[in-house]
Amino acid sequence: MPTPLSTIRPPSRRSLLFDMKIISGTAHRALALRIAENLGQPLADVHVSAFPDGETEVKINENVRGADVFIVQPSCPPTNHNIMELLIMVDAARRASAERITAVMPFFGYARQDRKDQPRVPITAKLVANLLTSAGVHRVLTMDLHAPQIQGFFDIPVDHLYAKSVLIGYLRERHPDTSNLTVVSPDVGGVKMARAYADALGAELAIVAKHRVSATRVEAMNVIGDVEGRDVLLVDDMTETAGTLTAAAEILHKSGAKKIFAGVSHAILAELGHQRIRDSKIEEIITTDSVPQAAGPKVQVVGIAPLLAEAIRRIHGGQSITSLFSV
Residues serving a catalytic function are 210
Contact (CB, 8 A) for 43 and 22: yes
Return d(Cα 74, Cα 323) in angstroms, integer.
23
Return d(Cα 132, Cα 322) in angstroms, integer.
24
Q: Residue 288 forms beta bridges with which residues?
A: 302
Output the CA torsion 185→186→192→194 (10° steps): -30
Nearest Cα neighbor of 82 from 73, 95, 70, 92 is 73
Nearest Cα neighbor of 288 from 26, 30, 54 is 30
In order, the DSSP letters of 263-283 are EEEEE---HHHHHHHHHSS--
DSSP β-ladder status, 158-161 and 181-185: unpaired
Contact (CB, 8 A) for 155 and 131: no
Classify residue 283 as exposed, middle or buried by CB count within 10 Å of its CB (0-12, 13-18, 19+).
middle
Nearest Cα neighbor of 243 from 265, 212, 268 is 212
Rounded to a whole number of angstroms, the distance between the first and last alpha carbons of the chain is 58
Nearest Cα neighbor of 75 from 133, 22, 26, 147 is 26
Q: In terms of DSSP H, where are the helices of the chain?
A: 13-16, 29-39, 79-95, 124-135, 164-174, 191-201, 243-254, 271-279, 305-317
